[in-house]
Amino acid sequence: MNTKNHALLYHGKAKSVYKTDDPEIVIVKFRDDITAGDGEKKDTLSAKGHLNSIISAKFFEILEAADIKTQYIKLLEPGVMLSHRLDMIPLEVITRNIAAGSLLRKFPFKDKQEFDPPIIQMDYKSDEFHDPMINDDIAVALGFVTREELNEIRRITLKINQVLKIFLLEKGIIFPDFKIEFGKNHKGEIILGDEISPDSCRFWDSKTCEVLDKDLFRKGETGVMDAYLEVASRILDDNEKEKWDIKLV
C-alpha cells in the first residue's frame, strides 16, 4: 500500500501513523526499524514490520473476542493496520508476571521471581524525560488522566494479562512482562492502542526459557527475526499462516 497519498500524523521509532479520509480512522504502518536503550541502539531488520503487525493483529483479535476494546479494525496488508484514531495517554503501562529487565536493575528482586498478583508499573512516555517511572498522583497532577481513568486502565490491563497469558501458555510461551499504551476515542472511552509484539513484550519458550523477543536485539545476539517468526508461527492458526505467508514449522 502506498502511504504517500496519506498525510503523516506521527513518525515514531518503529511505526508511522497516517491520516485517512475518516478523521476517526488512521493507518498504523509498522516499519522495520528497531531501537533499544532509549533510542541509542538502532537497526533495520527486514520483515520485522510485517511480522509485528501480524502478531499485533492476532493479539488484538483475541482481546476483542474477550470484550476488550482495541484500536484494531483490520490489516490492510502485512505491515499496514487500519486503526481507530486515539488521543494517546502518555503512559507506558507495564505488567510484570516474572522479574526481568529493568526491574532487576532498579530493585532487589531475584531473577525470574514470579509475581502473583502481577505488578503493574507505569512510566511517563516522554523521550525528553527518558520515560521515568510515574505514580498516580504525578499522572493526575500532570493532567492527562483522572484517578477513575487510571483505575479503568489497571482493570483492563489485568484482564489483557489474564487473556494473553492463558492463550500464550497453550502455545508453549511464557509471558514474563509486556508494555501497552492506551488512548481515548472520540467518545472519551479508554481504548487499547499501539501494538502488542515481540518489540513490546517478553516471550520465553515455556520448556527451555529461550528468549523470543527484542531482548535478543538488546543483547546484540543473532536470530532476532527467527525468534519473531517463531512467535508468529506458534500463535497463528494454519489458515492465518497461509494468508500471511508465514513459513516456519
Would you tell me which residues interact with ligand ATP (CB under 6 A)?
10, 12-15, 17, 26, 28, 35, 71, 83-86, 88, 181, 183, 193-194
Measured from the CB atom, the residue of 92 and 174 that comes closer to ligand ATP is: 92
Q: What is the dihedral of CA 132, 176, 164, 94, to 10 degrees?
A: -10
100-108 contacts, C-beta under 8 A, 24 or more apart: 100/176, 100/177, 100/202, 101/177, 101/202, 101/215, 103/177, 106/133
Measured from the CB atom, the residue of 30 and 174 that comes closer to ligand ATP is: 30
Q: Cell numbers at residue 214, please?
A: 527484542
Q: For 25, which DSSP code?
A: E
Peptide bond into 117 cis (omega under 30): yes
Q: How far is the CB of 98 from ligand ATP (least distance, A)?
A: 22
Q: How far is the CB of 36 from ligand ATP (least distance, A)?
A: 9
Distance CA 29, CA 9 (A): 11
Measured from the CB atom, the residue of 12 and 223 that comes closer to ligand ATP is: 12
Please answer whether residues 100 and 181 qualify as being in contact, where contact means their C-beta atoms are separated by less than 8 angstroms: no
Q: How far is the CB of 114 from ligand ATP (least distance, A)?
A: 27
Measured from the CB atom, the residue of 35 and 206 that comes closer to ligand ATP is: 35
Q: State the residue number with the nearest CB to ligand ATP.
A: 12
Measured from the CB atom, the residue of 87 and 170 that comes closer to ligand ATP is: 87
Q: Nearest Cα to 25, choosing from 105, 80, 78?
A: 80
Q: How far is the CB of 148 from ligand ATP (least distance, A)?
A: 21
Q: How far is the CB of 77 from ligand ATP (least distance, A)?
A: 18
